[in-house]
Amino acid sequence: MKIYLLLNIEGFLNLPDYDYVRGKFRGNSVKDIWQAPQVEEYKKKGKKYDFCHVYDNPMFNDKAMKALHDLIKDDVEVLPYLHPKDTYYAINVLNVIDCLDRSMAVLDIDEKYNVVRNINKYTFHEERIEHAIIFKIPENLRSEIFVTDIFKEKVEQAGLTGFRFAEIWDSENEYWPIHDPKAVLFDFFGMPMNYSDAMKLVYEGKAITSRRAIIQMDGEQLYIGNRTLVGDVDWGKPIYIPSGFLEMDWYETHKLKILNTK
Question: What pLDDT, in 10s, does the model give residues 146-197?
Answer: 999 999 999 999 999 999 898 888 888 765 554 555 556 688 888 889 999 9
AA letter at 92: N
Beta carbons of 1 and 130 less than 8 angstroms apart: yes
**Are 88 and 207 in a shared domain?**
no
**Are 10 and 89 in a shared domain?**
yes
Beta carbons of 224 and 214 less than 8 angstroms apart: yes
User: Which residue, 169, 28, 180, is CA-closest to 118?
Assistant: 180
DSSP letter, residue 100: B
Residue 33 in any domain: the answer is yes
The mean pLDDT values, 10 residues at a time, for the chain of 262 residues are 88 79 86 91 85 88 97 97 94 96 82 76 92 94 90 97 89 62 71 92 94 89 81 80 80 86 58
**Are 62 and 151 in a shared domain?**
yes
148, 170, 192: which is the final residue of a domain?
A: 170
Cα Dmax for the chain: 53
What contacts 24+ positions apart, CB below 8 Å, involve 175-184?
A: 177/121, 177/122, 177/229, 177/230, 178/121, 179/106, 179/120, 179/121, 179/229, 180/120, 181/106, 181/108, 181/120, 183/231, 184/118, 184/120, 184/212, 184/227, 184/228, 184/229, 184/231
Torsion, Cα 111 112 113 119, to 10 degrees, reads -30
**Predicted local distance difference test score (pLDDT) of residue 184:** 61
Q: Look up the pTM and report it.
A: 0.72
**Are 147 and 237 in a shared domain?**
no
Residue 12 in any domain: the answer is yes
Contacts of 253 (CB under 8 A, 6+ apart): 186, 187, 188, 189, 207, 208, 209, 214
Residue 240 in any domain: the answer is yes
Beta carbons of 68 and 155 less than 8 angstroms apart: yes
Residue 219 in any domain: the answer is yes
Residue 258 in any domain: the answer is no
Range of the domain at 39: 2-97+127-170
Domains identified in the chain, total number: 2
**Predicted local distance difference test score (pLDDT) of residue 178:** 47
Beta carbons of 122 and 129 less than 8 angstroms apart: no
**Are 83 and 162 in a shared domain?**
yes
**Predicted local distance difference test score (pLDDT) of residue 229:** 61
